Structures are given as C-alpha cells and as structure tokens.
Structure 1
C-alpha cells in the first residue's frame, strides 16, 4: 500500500488561520469528489472555525479520564476504520492524554500515513524542536510541546499561513482569537509586535531553507551541477592582502545593483595550515564584509581555484569577484595566476577580475610561504630537466672544468631539487646526474663504463652525499609541515576560545569549526540520560543537512557523557580528530554556560516591562493619594458634622468629596489607558485635523473652568496630522492639570506657534509648587518634581508620541510650569469633518499600526 501524503499548514503564531485554511482545503477536495473527513478539529471557541467545521464530516472522538477529569482525543482506531482518502487532523505537535496509544499526535498521523491516508494538519513554528530555545529567548515562554524537525521535513507539502503582526493583533483586540479576559495579557506579552515579527521571520526563513533543500535534492537527483540563478549570489575571494577592501566594496556594489542578491566572502587557507595572510588583516576584511550585509567563510585547500569553485558550486554562486594577480609577468608566464585558472574552470559562473593598486608589478608585503609537499610532478620534472640543462652547459665548458668541478655543480643542482621537492625528487636527480656525469665526463666518454677507480669513488661519494642531502631536506620539510599544523591547530583553538569568551552563540561557534575543518555540516547533539531510551536532539547546527543523530555523522567526537559533536563532509585524520575533540570541549563549556545563564539570567524585555509597570504604579499611588485624602477628609467632616452646621457647608463638603472621587476615577482611567496603549490595544487614525475644532471640543470637556484659559492663537492655523479624539483628550488633560495647579486669579495660558513642518502648542501655568530657578538659565526637564511625572502628563506624552509628535515639560521660572506639544502639519485640504469622527474620510492617511 502506498504511503499517504502529508500537508502541513505552518503558522508563526496562534490565530493566523491555519485551521481555517485546513478546513477550506478539505471542503475544496470534497467539492472535487474526494472523501475527506475530520479526525480532530480544535476550534478554541472561534466562531468562523466552528461554523466551517459543521460542513465537514467529523469522526467521533473518544474520551479518556486523566486525574479525575475527562479529556477528548482523536480516536485513531475510528479514523483507521473509516479510512477516508483525506483526514484533517489539527495541532500536529499536540501531546496526547496518558493512556492513548501514542504519546504524540504526530505519531498518530504517522500511522494514518502508513495506512495510505492523506493527512492535512497544522503546526506553529514555535513547536519545532530546533527552534524551541530561540522562541523561548524571544517570547520568554518555554515550549512544552515540541515536534522533531525531521517529521516536518518529511512532509510532502508545507504551506505558510501568514498574517502581518498588526492584522493579527487587530484580530486579537476584536476577540477573534482569545476570550476577552485573556486579550490584554496576550497583547502585552506573547503577542507584542516584536515577538510576532521575530516569529514570522523564523517561519519564513525555516520554510525558505526547506525550499532550498528541495531544490538541492532535485538538482542532485538529476545530476545538475551548474548553478541555477534562482537568485544572484556574489562571491568575493579574499587573500588577506591589501587589495581586499577594494574587492569587497566592488562586490558590494554589484550586489546592491541586483535586488534580492546575496554577498559572500571566502578565504582559502593552505591545506598545510600555513596562513599567508595576517590574522588582523583577515579580521578587518571580515568586519567590512559583515558591515556591508555579507557573510564571511573560510575553507582549506592546496589548489586555491579548485577550493574556490567547489565552494561556489556548493553555495550555488552565480558570480565570482577576484583581484588582478600581484605576481610579475615572468611568474605569470611560468604559471597562470589564480584568476586565470579560475576563469578556465568556472564554466557558467561569471568571474570578474578587478584591478587594484597592488596588481602585477607593484610591491607586496612579505608573507610566509609554506614548503610544498614532497614528490610532486613539478619537482620530478625539475629532477630530470635541471641536470640535462646543466649538462649542456658543462659540455660546452669541457676544456675548462674537470670531473670534480662537474660533480660539485651537479651536487648543487641536487641540493636545489631536494629543497624544492624533498627526498624522492632529490634521489631521482642524483641518479640522473650520476648517469649524465658518467656518460659525458668519465673515460671512456659517451659510455656508461668507468675506466678509472678514482672516478668510481667520486661518483659513489656523489650519490651518498646527494642521498643524505635529500633525506635531510625531506625530514626538514616534514617537520615544517608538522609545525605548521600545530600552529594552525593552536590558532583554531585560540579563535574558538576567544569566540566562547565573547559570548557568541552556539551556531556561530559551530560555523567556526565547520570552516576551519572544511566540513559540510556540524551538529551539537545532546540527550537526557535521566530518561531511559532518551533520543538525541539537536542543540545547534550549521551547514547543509546537519546530522540529527550520531549514526548519521561521518565523524563523531564526544564532548562529555551527554553531549557529542557530529560532523559531515569528509573523513578526518587522527590529528584532525584530536583537534576536533579539543573544540568539542570548548563547545561543552559554552553550552553549560548558556544553560546556566538561561536558568539564572534576567529576561531584559520582561524586566523592562516590569520596571515600567512599577513606575506607573508608583506614579498612580502618588497621584491618587491627594484626591483620596481629600475625599476621605470631606466625608469624615460630613459624617461628624454638627446639627447646627448650615446646609451650604454640607453641600460644599459633599461637592469636595464628589470632585475628589471623580479625580481619582479619572486617574484610574488614565492608568488603564496607559496600560492599553503600551499593550497596543488602542486604535487611532492619523489624518489632517483642524486645531480650532479640537480646542473647542477640549474646552467644552473641561466645563466652566475651560473658558478661563487665556488663549493666544494665530489667525491662520495649519491642520495637524493627528487623531482628532486623542488630540482633544491630550489637550483637555493638560489644560485640566494646568488649571488644578494655577491660582484662581492667574489662569493658564495656551499659545500656538507655526514652525516649519510642525505646529507647537504651549500651555503655561503659574505653578504653586515652588522650585529653585536661576534667571537666564535654560529650563530644565529633569524630573525631581512629582509635577513632571504624574499620570496625566505620562499619558499625554505617550499619546502624543504615538501620533509622531513630541511633548516636553519644563519649569520655566521660579513658579512657572510649561508643557509644549509639537505635531506635524499638513495643508488644509479636508472639509466637513468633526473632531471625533473615527472613520477615515476620502483622501485621509492610511491607518497606522496600533501601538
């Protein structure tokens, strides 16, 4: 029986419409004649989902009792018996109630797929096991229900159900996701705009990786090795030389001209571990690449063009940027430069050769050069050609040199070959030189026979010396390579230790290891030994198709009893494995430090929210103290009033109590509005509004006291960009606060002034809170006075900033307090509107996201 197909509707957060989209697809298949039934649908009380679910056949659930409470779960046997063509199963990562056949719902789905039933299901990005830690760091909420990534990767089809954060929060405010008693808590915690944006990006990136994996599988299946220009990927080759910044900036300009393209930089280090570039230069170039939005990579290889093109094919590179060679023309005649060799082998990849100030013929800084590996074909060819060329010279000088002089020159040639190629080319050169010397310079000439004993001794000594020199040179080269490897190992461990000390995250540390060893992928795996049969899970990974279990790796290096480093790409030598074991120890330290920090560290966003909440409560308690004390005093005096007190006195006490209670109620309302504003639950629309109409509404809200304000307004006021009702509330609140703090004989003054692009409104009162003030000094905005930090002022400031305005409060004299509101202006272009109109008129600005 063919295995069923799995379709996953993936979402970034609850409420984006995954279940609704699943039901829509089920109904569509029904209309096409398919047999579709719902194994389990979780509506969570959402009416649109409940209404649509009524149109789909529901397979009855079965009830399990756990800890005395009944729970409904999908009846797996009933679904298998019914055996529809398509089964709709909600919440793939759900944990089944104890007593079910399987512990997880995805295991139920696996049985349905094995039975040949197609399944459509839903999943939130935060339930993927590899992203659980990332989601917890973003939202502060641990994920108790997780799904192995491999289960999601095996899906035949993954569809992203997406909503912008603002739209999702609007649905939340309207009660389409959670009941009213959970809305405010959700908006201020999990459903913050930053959280939703980060989760949405995680979902898009994870799905993009799956699309990339699918493309790579297709190319591998069909043997396609040429790059496909699905998007431009520009690779710049770096040597660590002075031309690096020029190449990086040139490649960045190419990238900038192609929307959606990607910039990568690659440094190819020699395979013997000798790095010809200074680490500081490479670090500076890496910093430049990353500042321009690119990524830096490093690999090893003896043949630089080959290593460069292998990386290009693996990363689907479409263009390569290289610098013009710094070698002189004679060197280029003997051997083509890296650029020319790369062009010859690049195939469909475009190669740009960029000229720079240090190109061909210009002096370059001294750099270390490694000793080539012994017995290469160049050295063997030299072992043949150099003695032949020397022989031609010696034949011409036969009348001036003797056999001893000839053998000394031959020995010099052997020494040169030994230093260049090692022992085997040196021995070959010694044999060739000995034969040539015997044939051309010993009697009888032009014969390999030797007539004199002295010549035999000379040739024997020559061969012994040549062999000794070649052996010494070979040993020196081998020890040099060993020293270079040890130095490279020390540098790799030092870089990794430095990255650990700087607090880099585990994926970045694994990327260091992958690039240093030239691997395809690296994973850090962990298991919990406290749970019998506990599977391995991925703590962090990097590269393509990272191993998820130790047996999937080419090489496994244990870091400790419960932590192991698994790598893919190539078999490592024993020396490499020893170095990798040291790196694994460093990773174990970093992982332990991160785990400890996760348990004891403070969540900065939540801590900031707690500090803001504490500050608001402190301000509220301070502001509420005065009206509540006034109300309590008036009521006490009214309760103990003597019978002979006049009715007028009683009415005054009662009015004092009423006004104080009204003031306290207003403060509580301001506190509630501040909380709703910070949680993004207040809607507002920005459009041009007439300030005169807003002021009229504000003064009317103040009652009789509002008409005592001293107004000074220009005749031609421009419209301001604001929400009319919120601006009216801000001005009314500020004016009421000014009236409360001004003496009866000196009412506050309200003035307006037109500035370029903004309108400035200032409310000044004769503050009755004395405060030190020095004439001629600038007004200070420091908050030592409670006047500058009351709830009315904080709410007005937050509302003004939400409308892209500013609010500044300052003492401008020994007993003068001023509040200045500045808002952007617009041409007076909208007619017939009212200050409290909440419907955007034609031509108005579009709705802004709620804050």
Structure 2
C-alpha cells in the first residue's frame, strides 16, 4: 500500500497547492518518479508556474448536462504507475459517470495499487466540522471528506497563514480575480472567520500530533510525563465532592488552550465499593458536558492505580479532594492525597482541592445502612434475631439432640445469615 501525505489548509488560499508542488519539485530533483495526476491552479499565476517541469497525466473528459468536465483519469495513472502522484482537492465530488463518486475514493485506489499520493484539503471540508464551519462562516460546505480518511494519512502538514497576511494576498489578486476580491473580503474572508478557521485547524492537527505522541510513547515504553500538552486527571471517590473537583479542573484546563480533563474512578477488583452509582453517573455526565472524558480503572491500591493511569495518559496534573476522614482516622495511614503527592515525582503536579465535605467522615455521602430496608423487613429481621435462637435451641434439644456440634453450628449460622439478609447487621449480631 502506498503512503498518503496531506497538506491541510487552514483556509482557502493559504498556499497548500503551492506547497504540494514545491514538494514535488524536491522529489523530482532527488530522482523520484513523480507525476501530476490532477492539480487545480484556479488561474493563479504563481501556482501555474510551479507546474512547469512536472509530468502531467492527461485528464478524462466527461459530458454532464450538456457541459464538458475534466476529471482525474484514474485508469491512466494506474497504467503509468508512478512512485508518487499529486492529487489536488481531496474532498472534491466527481462528475456523475466517473470511476468513483468522490476524489478521496480515487486516492484510495491509487494507494491500494502501491502508489504514494500527495494531496491537499482545507479544514472546512472535514466531515465532522461541517456544522461548526457553517455556524462560523454562514456557508455550508457541500464537498466533504470523512475525518478518518485524513487521520489515516501517514503525514499531515498544516499550511497556515495569519488572517492579515491572507487578506493582503487576497487584495493583491493572488487568490481570486479582481472582480471577486471585494465580495470575498467582506464575506468569507473576514478576519473573524479566518481566525476561527485557523484555530479549528490548529486544534485538529494538535489532536493528530497527540495520537502520534501516544503511539510513540507506547512503542518505546516511556512512562515518565512529557509536558507537551496540559492534561488534567481528576480522582473521583464517588462522593458528592467530585462535582467540585470536576468544575475546578475544567477551569484549570480552560486557562491553557487545548487542555484536556479526564475524570477517573478507581474500583476495587472484588467489586465491593462504597461509591454511589447514581452519583458517579451524575459526575460522568458533568465531565462529558464540560468536554472531558470519564474512565473507570480496576485497582486495589488506589494511589498506585491513579498514578499509573495518569502516567499512562501523559497527564501533567492530578486534582484530588482533601480527605473526608476525621482527624483520628489518620493514625491508619496518610491517606490517598498525601500518598499520591509523595509518590508523584517531579513530573506530575498534584492539587488538593478543599470542599464542604472535608473532615466530616468518609461515610458522609452514604445513606444509613437501613435506609434501603423496608419496615416489614427490619421487623422480621429482629424477630429472627431475637426469637430464632431460642426456638432453634428448643428444637434441637427436644427433636434432634444428637446432630452433633458441627451441624448445630451450621444451623445457627444459617439463622444468623437469614437475620442479616432481612434486617441488616444489628439483628445478625
């Protein structure tokens, strides 16, 4: 399979086609068999000049509704079988009657044939950003390309330009003809539109770069934190203070553009937990509404599991709540927050956030143990707990006195379990 290289433009006219042709000239100078399968210069003199000296494959002409259109001749490119083919405007929709409906499908066929492809696409043509771009510019993009097609590219290079420089290029007639310049500058190419498109492109490419980084760290077994991007992990206990922690982390992430919030709950491997499933569901919804993600990790050693997760996702900060334990409970250990802060090392910042539940006991968020038991169940539990042993003793003495100590103990244990199932801990005791 061939390799795909994409020049991603932040906006029309930033020079992605020019950059692609410059790359083609460099490859030809190095002796690479490179051809132009299809390049649209749109009458721009500087782009048209860059086509000189490059071999071009003839286009296929198609008649549609009485007009003649020229599309890429995929069959001709396959017969020519170059090492590298240049294919402009990846999101283009082909004329009905073409080999494929979309140009990116033509590119997929070239890649499957072992031909490397260099292509171009603008950020506004990505499928997932269609609604966002329309809300910003007021223009609905009819030609789109699936994000996954672009994400699968072996190399993505962002072609960027400041809004002021792009508008100057527009005013000089380097993008559109003179009769279209004024309308373009006052509509699509307004400074606000260009700034928003530029930010979309930068953030999208940043996510792609982060994927490359995570893949590299995984392949090389790197566990230490590389603080390339602000990534905040929020440790949740299932208590109501988790909402405060999530909001605090979201404000911290907002201060650094591109920051990411990941809430994590450490569950015990035996499945026993004091956390409220309802509260965890509320916190999961909250963190997702704030643009973060929710994770659940299995681990009996909470500090170790939390640190392992944080280093695994290349986090830069950990946000924890101040312990809800009472002062006397610290004799059993320093607590999760202090342990994580001590073992985090110099590459992870640990923030202990105060809240209104701190120091009020670890079981404050849990309902009373008997709150879920109905009145009839509690009465039955107490009847079994109080009268059951007496009746069982009389029964064993009068009816079956010779069962033996082991069987007697099992019967009393069964009675105890019955009292616990019905009435809870106190009737069982």
TM-score (norm 1): 0.40
Question: 1-side partners of 2:367 and 2:62: how far apart?
Answer: 74
Structure 1 residues 352 and 476: alpha-carbon distance in aligned structure 2, compared to 1, 3 A threshold:
farther
Per-residue displacement from partner, 1:296-321 (whole Å, max 9, x unpaired)?
Answer: 65555675546644652453213324
Per-residue displacement from partner, 1:411-443 (whole Å, max 9, x unpaired)?
Answer: xxxx9xxxxxxxxxxxxxxxxxxxxxxxxxxxx
Structure 1 residues 277 and 180: alpha-carbon distance in aligned structure 2, compared to 1, 3 A threshold:
same
User: Would you say 1:121 and 2:119 are equivalent positions?
Assistant: yes
Counterpart residue number, 1:161: 159
- Native 8 Å contact 1:227 1:348 kept in 2: no
Counterpart residue number, 1:465: 412
RMSD: 4.3
Counterpart among 254, 263, 268 of residue 266 in structure 1: 263
Aligned length in residues: 388
Per-residue displacement from partner, 1:18-52 (whole Å, max 9, x unpaired)?
Answer: 11111111111122222222111111111111122
Give the drift of 1:95: 1.5
- Native 8 Å contact 1:62 1:73 kept in 2: yes
Per-residue displacement from partner, 1:712-753 (whole Å, max 9, x unpaired)?
Answer: xxxxxxxxxxxxxxxxxxxxxxxxxxxxxxxxxxxxxxxxxx
- Native 8 Å contact 1:237 1:321 kept in 2: yes
Per-residue displacement from partner, 1:743-764 (whole Å, max 9, x unpaired)?
Answer: xxxxxxxxxxxxxxxxxxxxxx
Question: 2-side partners of 1:243 and 1:154: how far apart?
Answer: 37
Question: 2-side partners of 1:198 and 1:251: how far apart?
Answer: 22
Alignment of 1:643-662 (within 5 A): none
- Native 8 Å contact 1:232 1:318 kept in 2: yes
The DSSP-based 3-state class of the residue aligned with 1:38 is: strand
Question: 2-side partners of 1:228 and 1:173: how far apart?
Answer: 43
Counterpart residue number, 1:150: 148
The DSSP-based 3-state class of the residue aligned with 1:103 is: coil
Question: 2-side partners of 1:101 and 1:174: how far apart?
Answer: 38
Alignment of 1:338-349 (within 5 A): 338-340=336-338, 342=340
Per-residue displacement from partner, 1:301-344 (whole Å, max 9, x unpaired)?
Answer: 67554664465245321332435534245533446522255468
The DSSP-based 3-state class of the residue aligned with 1:131 is: helix
Structure 1 residues 248 and 42: alpha-carbon distance in aligned structure 2, compared to 1, 3 A threshold:
closer
Give the drift of 1:346: 5.2
Counterpart residue number, 1:505: none
Question: 1-side partners of 2:351 and 2:142: how far apart?
Answer: 54
Structure 1 residues 101 and 238: alpha-carbon distance in aligned structure 2, compared to 1, 3 A threshold:
closer
Structure 1 residues 347 and 132: alpha-carbon distance in aligned structure 2, compared to 1, 3 A threshold:
same
- Native 8 Å contact 2:325 2:362 kept in 1: no
Structure 1 residues 28 and 476: alpha-carbon distance in aligned structure 2, compared to 1, 3 A threshold:
farther
The DSSP-based 3-state class of the residue aligned with 2:215 is: helix
Question: 1-side partners of 2:358 and 2:187: how far apart?
Answer: 61
The DSSP-based 3-state class of the residue aligned with 1:15 is: coil
- Native 8 Å contact 2:340 2:350 kept in 1: no
- Native 8 Å contact 1:12 1:162 kept in 2: yes
Question: 2-side partners of 1:310 and 1:182: how far apart?
Answer: 57
Structure 1 residues 229 and 84: alpha-carbon distance in aligned structure 2, compared to 1, 3 A threshold:
same
Question: 1-side partners of 2:103 and 2:353: how far apart?
Answer: 61
Structure 1 residues 267 and 469: alpha-carbon distance in aligned structure 2, compared to 1, 3 A threshold:
same
Structure 1 residues 180 and 241: alpha-carbon distance in aligned structure 2, compared to 1, 3 A threshold:
same
Give the drift of 1:360: 8.6
Give the drift of 1:104: 1.7
Question: 2-side partners of 1:197 and 1:476: how far apart?
Answer: 66
Structure 1 residues 24 and 307: alpha-carbon distance in aligned structure 2, compared to 1, 3 A threshold:
same
Alignment of 1:420-819 (within 5 A): 463-474=410-421
Question: 2-side partners of 1:269 and 1:324: how far apart?
Answer: 17
Give the greater-gyration-radius structure (CA). 1
Counterpart residue number, 1:62: 60
- Native 8 Å contact 2:8 2:120 kept in 1: yes
- Native 8 Å contact 2:264 2:297 kept in 1: no
Per-residue displacement from partner, 1:502-541 (whole Å, max 9, x unpaired)?
Answer: xxxxxxxxxxxxxxxxxxxxxxxxxxxxxxxxxxxxxxxx
Structure 1 residues 73 and 323: alpha-carbon distance in aligned structure 2, compared to 1, 3 A threshold:
closer
Counterpart residue number, 1:34: 32
- Native 8 Å contact 1:227 1:317 kept in 2: yes
The DSSP-based 3-state class of the residue aligned with 2:218 is: helix
- Native 8 Å contact 1:327 1:359 kept in 2: no
Segments of structure 1 that go 5 or more residues without pairing to the other structure are: 372-414, 416-452, 478-851
Structure 1 residues 247 and 168: alpha-carbon distance in aligned structure 2, compared to 1, 3 A threshold:
closer
Counterpart among 92, 95, 106 of residue 94 in structure 1: 92
- Native 8 Å contact 1:5 1:119 kept in 2: yes
Larger relative CO (CA 8 A, sep 6+): 1 or 2? 2
User: Would you say 1:316 and 2:314 are equivalent positions?
Assistant: yes
Question: 1-side partners of 2:258 and 2:275: how far apart?
Answer: 33
The DSSP-based 3-state class of the residue aligned with 1:467 is: helix
Per-residue displacement from partner, 1:685-731 (whole Å, max 9, x unpaired)?
Answer: xxxxxxxxxxxxxxxxxxxxxxxxxxxxxxxxxxxxxxxxxxxxxxx
